[in-house]
């Protein structure tokens, strides 16, 4: 098509030797570098580079015309030289605000001014690939990681199809745990492998298992619990993965409190200062803030029982309880005693009986004195203490004897 149009295409170049072997030598470009729109391409190394003109150093007496000429001499259609030309443009803008003539030599006053900022190179680190901070849940992070790992295996001809399996999710979690341990505990790993002793290694009993995970060994090696609980995996407290793990436990446990969440986490993981870390994560739980973050609401108070509001004689309905011990002085020294409290449920009258001890016999004697003075109650309410239950059994047995020995004639 180009031959019919008499268009002789030549000066072909490529970094592919196989492609250049198909091009006749007279049509090849015998150059190591090509330049297009100010961008230089090094063919052998396949690199793009740019070089600006050699600017003569501006003197302190340079005019505005000379500064503008130096800035305009740089051909930069893509803006790659902007960090270099920006200072000159700012200087030129300041000169326009002063409004001197184009030949007025007062640039030295501006050059002598102290700089308002400092430019420095920013150190860029290669990211791990995915950031835990970009995910809102642990299961989503692990699933995406598992899909990426499956894609990598497919590139290695290890074909797997279908939904993700539990083993793939566990492999993704294992990969993240290894990564954050290498990130936060690099010194500890080095000291453990070199058999060096450090304070944190001694306190937590750190060791490295066969899979390369750092575990904490405590004093419960002989306990009848799981191996993960005996040797929990160490996790850093200030890590996004740890926060996602805590929140995942909290959500799976139906938004329980700090103690329950921390108890379940410690069945497999150990987080330094775990209680404060879990408390900090749970304070950011949206569901807990929504349903439990408001002021405490008093529950509805039910109506009083009928026996408490029905007019009756004092001590018809009686509540009973003990308080003490109390120390009293006697002729032979001090002695410990208790007090049995009788309270009327209707008029709130109080009757006290002194007890030498808390046995059933002493209570029966005190109860007889109460009945002799205040009358027999219809119903007695207690906290089911041992002496109260024993007294109830004694009274019930005596009443059954009365019924068996008595003969009723009609």
Which is more confident, 110 or 48?
48
3-class secondary structure for the chain? CCCCCCCCCCCECCCCHHHHCCCCHHHECCCCEEEECCEEEECCCCEEECCCCCCCCCCCCCCHHHHHHHHHCCCCCCCCCHHHHHHHHHHHHHHHHHCCCCCCCCHHHHHCCCCCCCCCCCCCCCCCCCCHHHCCCHHHHHHHHHHHHHHHHHHCCCCCCCCCCHHHHHHHHHHHHHHHHHHHCHHHHHHHHCCCCCHHHHHHCEEECCCCCEEECCCCCCCCCCHHHHCCEECCCCCHHHHHHHHHHHHHCCCCCHHHHHHHHCCCEECCCHHHHHHHHHCCCHHHHHHHCCCCCCCCCCCCCHHHHCCCCCCCEEEEEEEEEEEEEECCEEEEEEEEEEEECCCCCEEEEEECCCCHHHHHHHHHHHHHHHCCCCEEECCCCHHHHHHHHHHHHHHHHHHHHCCCCC
* pLDDT for position 107: 47
pLDDT band at 387 (very low <50, low <70, confident <90, very high): confident
pLDDT value at 271 more than 90 = yes
Range in 126-135, 141-150, 360-369 the model is least confident about: 126-135
Q: pLDDT tens-digit profile of 297-306?
A: 778 888 888 8
Highest mean pLDDT among 145-154, 270-279, 332-341, 374-383: 270-279
pLDDT value at 71 more than 50 = yes
pLDDT band at 263 (very low <50, low <70, confident <90, very high): very high
**CA dist., res. 274 & res. 280, Å (int):** 10
pLDDT value at 266 more than 90 = yes
CA angle 207/213/214 to nearest 5° reads: 35
Q: pLDDT tens-digit profile of 193-244?
A: 888 877 888 888 888 988 889 999 888 888 888 888 989 999 999 899 999 9
pLDDT value at 127 more than 70 = no
pLDDT band at 126 (very low <50, low <70, confident <90, very high): low
Which is more confident, 154 or 107?
154
* pLDDT for position 339: 92
Percent of the chain at pLDDT > 70 equals 88
In degrees and rounded to multiples of 5, residue 238 shows phi and psi of -100, 75
Which is more confident, 9 or 103?
9
Range in 68-72, 292-296, 322-326 the model is least confident about: 292-296
Average pLDDT over residues 282-306: 83
Q: pLDDT tens-digit profile of 26-40?
A: 777 777 788 777 778
Range in 53-57, 214-218, 263-267 the model is least confident about: 53-57
Q: 247, 256 in Cβ contact below 8 A?
A: no
The alpha carbon torsion through 341, 345, 348, 353 (nearest 10 deg) reads -20
Which is more confident, 118 or 178?
178
pLDDT band at 174 (very low <50, low <70, confident <90, very high): very high
CA angle 77/82/83 to nearest 5° reads: 160
Q: 114, 68 in Cβ contact below 8 A?
A: no
On average, the pLDDT of the chain sits at 82
pLDDT band at 56 (very low <50, low <70, confident <90, very high): low
Q: 189, 214 in Cβ contact below 8 A?
A: yes
Is the peptide bond prior to 377 cis by the omega test (within 30 degrees of 0)?
no
Q: Which domains does the chain have, with CATH numbers?
A: 64-111 (no CATH), 132-292 (1.10.340.70), 309-404 (3.30.420.10)
Average pLDDT over residues 261-284: 93
């Amino acid at each position: 098509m180009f031959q019919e149009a008499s268009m002789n295409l030549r000066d072909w170049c490529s970094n592919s030797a196989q492609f250049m072997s198909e091009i006749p030598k007279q049509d090849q470009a015998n150059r190591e570098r090509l330049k297009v729109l100010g961008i230089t391409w090094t063919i052998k190394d396949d690199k793009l580079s740019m070089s600006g003109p050699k600017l003569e150093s501006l003197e302190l007496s340079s005019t505005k015309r000379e500064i503008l000429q130096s800035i305009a001499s740089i051909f930069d259609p893509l803006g790659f030289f902007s960090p270099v030309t920006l200072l000159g443009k700012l200087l030129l803008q300041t000169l326009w605000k002063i409004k001197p003539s184009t030949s007025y030599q007062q640039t030295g006053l501006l050059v002598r001014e102290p700089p308002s900022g400092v430019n420095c190179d920013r150190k860029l680190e290669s990211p791990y690939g995915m950031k835990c901070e970009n995910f809102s849940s642990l299961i989503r992070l692990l699933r995406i990681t598992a899909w990426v790992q499956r894609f990598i295996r497919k590139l290695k001809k290890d074909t797997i199809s279908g939904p993700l399996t539990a083993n793939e999710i566990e492999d993704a979690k294992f990969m993240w745990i290894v990564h954050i341990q290498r990130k936060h505990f690099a010194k500890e790993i080095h000291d453990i492998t070199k058999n060096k002793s450090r304070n944190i290694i001694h306190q937590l009993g750190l060791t490295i298992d066969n899979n390369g995970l750092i575990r904490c060994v405590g004093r419960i090696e002989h306990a009848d619990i799981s191996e993960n609980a005996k040797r929990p995996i160490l996790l850093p407290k200030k890590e996004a993965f740890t926060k996602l793990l805590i929140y995942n436990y909290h959500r799976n446990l139906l938004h329980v409190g700090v103690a329950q969440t921390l108890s379940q986490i410690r069945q497999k993981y150990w987080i330094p200062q775990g209680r404060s870390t879990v408390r900090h994560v749970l304070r950011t739980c949206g569901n807990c803030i929504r349903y439990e973050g408001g002021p405490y609401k008093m529950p509805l108070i039910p109506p009083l029982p009928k026996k408490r509001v029905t007019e009756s004689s004092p001590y018809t309905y009686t509540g009973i309880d003990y308080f003490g011990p109390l120390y009293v002085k006697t002729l032979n020294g001090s002695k410990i005693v208790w007090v049995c409290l009788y309270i009327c449920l209707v008029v709130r009258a109080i009757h006290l009986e002194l007890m030498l001890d808390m046995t059933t016999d002493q209570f029966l004697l005190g109860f007889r004195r109460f009945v002799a003075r205040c009358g027999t109650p219809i119903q007695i309410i207690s906290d089911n203490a041992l002496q109260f239950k024993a007294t109830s059994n004694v009274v019930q047995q005596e009443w059954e004897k009365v019924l068996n020995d008595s003969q009723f004639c009609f």
